[in-house]
Structure 1
Amino acid sequence: MVCLPFQWRNFLISLFTRLALAILVLFIVPSLAAAGWWMTQHHADNWRAADWSSSGVLPSKPEASDASIYILAARTGGLKGALSLHSWLVVKRPGTTSYDRYDVVGWGTPVRKNAYDADGRWYSNTPSIVHEIHGTEARGLIPKIEAAIKQYPYARPGSYVLWPGPNSNSFVAHVLRLVPEIGVVLPSNAVGRDFPTDGRLFAIDDDWRNFRATLFGYIGFAAGARSGFEINFMGLVAGFDILNPGLKVPGFGRVGI
């Protein structure tokens, strides 16, 4: 049996103690606080009782000449809504007055097109617009988005995994990584967004403005103009935003400064 010198034993004990304290403060305490807050809110009893109707967040009659791209997200259902969002993509092609919505669900064929209203509530929760692009820029990006959707590698029935992914947020994050010109990452409380759908544990975006490293979505970190600095632990994200100053708190997402 190998015995470590006294100094090394003390060093390792100190290291693990500090690591455990950091995990407690950065991830566990905020998650428990988010769960406590969530339990005080009113929720639909089940998916049948939930409201899935249009929320009115998007214009009901968009201009036919305009092209638009929207990334939307809403709290998901059940207890997991305390910690995570469900996100989806919406595009409006030029010359049309209707939207196309793309998201991934956990039953049947994962990738769905127009299964819900473009700005429909998710388990009765009203969505917010994470990012939007209009006009000439949107017109040029829509074909790239559609190509990225077709390249999603987990589109077969049975490939959805609630945690750590691939799930609905993994799908949207996949598109955002393949089309970095969109210029945004999903909110930090979109659990599953850090799952490496491309299988790469280390990656730099094509425009070199973001870097990520992950152990299959269980643990990792990201840094760059879009991410700021983030640490991912078991799907929970803590960190800070640089361009739009704020803290990234597990369960709560970005908290502005």
Structure 2
Amino acid sequence: MNLHIFVPTCLLLFFLSASSSDGWQTASREPAGIAPDPKEEKRAVVEVYAADAYGWKGVFAVHTWIALKEENADNYSLFEVVGWRVNRGGIALRQTTTITPDKYWYGAKPEKLLSVQGEKASQLIPKILNAIARYPWTNEYRVFPGPNSNTFPAWIAKEVPELGLELPFTAFGSGYADTLN
């Protein structure tokens, strides 16, 4: 068989198999069950999640987000950067309130990258919120090289080093946070 045809055909089939044919509208957004229930966990909580990016990009990259729960709060504040918001004239940085910060990312099960609870989380939350308020690319989004959804938690990790957040290699765009000194 001719390798010039075989290899590209295999790659095309691989990428197509990684894409959901159902579309993002019907992809799962159910909780993964890995976040502490805010009704039961009264201590402060800081968590960072990653899930495969939607569609073919998930073969290579993840989408990351941060969830914060203050002590005795009944819900989490979830922070993430989403590109489609910029395309529609909005801002990239989104904050939502939820009791389930560990929802599937359009069909992809999240992985918990970091979990800090208790007194340390209580001390970190104001620092993280301050860094979020200073995030320099609130109105910008580019898939590559960034700023994108992975630039955001990388910025937080850089601004709050005591958080100890390390992003996976597949967090493309995380290095963009280093472009400001």
* TM-score computed with the length of structure 1 as normaliser: 0.59
Deviates more, 1:54-63 or 1:92-101: 54-63
Identity %: 32
Residues 114-167 of structure 1 deviation map (CA, whole Å, 9 limit, x = unaligned): 1774111111111010011011100000000000001111112xx111111000
How far, CA to CA, are the matches of 1:113 and 1:45 in structure 2? Answer: 27
Question: Does residue 137 of structure 2 align to residue 154 of structure 1?
Answer: yes
Asked if structure 2 preserves the Cα contact closer than 8 Å seen for 1:70 and 1:133, the reply is yes
Q: How large is the RMSD of aligned CA atoms in angstroms?
A: 2.4
Asked if structure 2 preserves the Cα contact closer than 8 Å seen for 1:34 and 1:82, the reply is no
Aligned residues: 166
1:110 to 67, 76, 92: 92
Matches for 1:117-196 after TM superposition, within 5 Å: 117-156=100-139, 159-196=140-177
1:58/1:50 Cα in 2 relative to 1: closer, same or farther (>3 Å)? same
Task: Name the structure 1 match of 2:7.
Answer: none
Larger % of strand: which? 1
How far, CA to CA, are the matches of 2:12 and 2:135 in structure 1? Answer: 32
**How much has 1:39 moved relative to structure 2?**
5.3
Structure 1 gaps of 5+ residues are 1-32, 201-257
Q: What stretches of structure 1 move > 4 A for 4+ residues in a row? A: 33-42
**How much has 1:44 moved relative to structure 2?**
5.1
Asked if structure 1 preserves the Cα contact closer than 8 Å seen for 2:54 and 2:106, the reply is yes
Asked if structure 2 preserves the Cα contact closer than 8 Å seen for 1:166 and 1:197, the reply is no
Structure 2 gaps of 5+ residues are 1-9, 86-90
- Which structure is higher in RCO with an 8 Å CA cutoff and minimum separation 6? 2
How far, CA to CA, are the matches of 2:58 and 2:73 in structure 1? Answer: 34
Task: Name the structure 1 match of 2:69.
Answer: 92
How far, CA to CA, are the matches of 1:37 and 1:185 in structure 2? Answer: 29
The one-letter amino acid of 2:156's match is: V
Q: Which has the larger radius of gyration?
A: 1
1:46/1:173 Cα in 2 relative to 1: closer, same or farther (>3 Å)? same
Asked if structure 1 preserves the Cα contact closer than 8 Å seen for 2:135 and 2:152, the reply is yes
How far, CA to CA, are the matches of 1:110 and 1:163 in structure 2? Answer: 15
